[in-house]
Homo-oligomer: A and B are copies of this chain.
Amino acid sequence: MLVDQRRQQILEITEKSGFVALSDLVERVGASESTVRRDLDYLDGIGQIRRTRGGAAYVGDSITPFEVRGTRAKEQKQHIAAAAAALVEPGETVLLDGGTTTLEVAKHLVGKPLQVVTNSLPIINVLVSSPQTELIVIGGFLYPKTGVNLGPIAVAALKSIHARRLFVSAGGITPAGLFNSNALLVETERQMIDSAEELIVVSDSSKLGHSALAHLCPLDVVDRLVVDEGITEEWKQIVQRAGIELTVVGK
């Protein structure tokens, strides 16, 4: 194994997961601990990674930390997102919650003349390169797992904001209302609802009828639901009775 080849390999491994343990690298590249250690020192020296106790972290440019999870959004999700994005009028102020579906919505908003408010880091990274979009970031404690800002700072910032439409992607929907799997987020999301005129839920039909950890809001607060055609007749009626406008997206 060549020196540079091994270092390249280390770099690729590190870039892939963002963070690697020294022992992992020793095993995967088949070199001794000393050698890997020296390689890490070198790569740290040229600024490609950052040496940390027990391993190394990637600090290069090209990485996209959250892209990994969203691996190729399903076509269905794409269609839902496209339909939701079509609801947005030019010049509007749009509030976007975090989540893989709302991220897809954000991708469909690129290039439109809008004011977008969000607390989601992946969404920010998508829209930052769009010169027509004015971006307002809701700060706060960055929840590393999903890359959204929450907590008192986020709530306070949201209080000074007013938006035309809010897009959220629920973790579950029952007749009792919307649910989210992350209890920490709920407080922030409630403030989002208060700060927006219209609440639009984007969700695939599999979420209907399923609950989740934390209750977010009752159904009648929702103004519109964008969902795929897997929605049952029963649910169509529930939605209608709650006074929610329904957008069913064909396959």
Write out the residue numbers on chain B whose beta carbons fall within 8 Å of the beta carbon of A110: 50, 52, 57, 59
Contact with B along A210-245 (1 / 0, CB 8 A): 000000000000000000000000000000000000
- Cα(A11)–Cα(B57), bound, Å: 16
Q: Copy number of this protein in the oligomer? A: 2
User: Are the C-beta atoms of B142 and A139 separated by less than 8 Å?
Assistant: no
User: Are the C-beta atoms of A139 and B140 separated by less than 8 Å?
Assistant: yes
Distance in Å from the Cβ of A187 to the closest Cβ of chain B? 16
Assess A4 versus B121: contact at CB under 8 Å? Given A128-B144, A139-B136, A142-B136.
no
Q: Which residues in A have some Cβ–Cβ distance to B below 8 Å?
A: 2-5, 7-8, 11, 18-19, 21, 43, 46-48, 50-55, 57-59, 63, 65-67, 69-70, 74, 78, 104, 107-108, 110-112, 119, 121, 124-126, 128-132, 134-142, 144, 147, 149, 152-154, 156-157, 160-161
Q: Which chain B residue has the least Cβ–Cβ distance from A70?
A: B46
Assess A2 versus B21: contact at CB under 8 Å? Given A57-B110, A57-B129, A125-B125.
yes
Q: Which chain B residue has the least Cβ–Cβ distance from A19?
A: B5
User: Are the C-beta atoms of B59 and A107 separated by less than 8 Å?
Assistant: yes
Write out the residue numbers on chain B whose beta carbons fall within 8 Å of the beta carbon of A160: 152-153, 156
| Contact among B51, B111, B136, B142 for A153, CB-based, below 8 A | B136
| 26 CB < 8 A contacts A-B | A2-B57, A4-B53, A5-B18, A5-B55, A46-B66, A46-B67, A47-B74, A47-B78, A50-B110, A59-B110, A65-B129, A121-B125, A128-B142, A135-B141, A136-B140, A136-B141, A137-B149, A138-B139, A139-B139, A139-B140, A139-B149, A152-B160, A153-B157, A156-B156, A156-B160, A157-B157
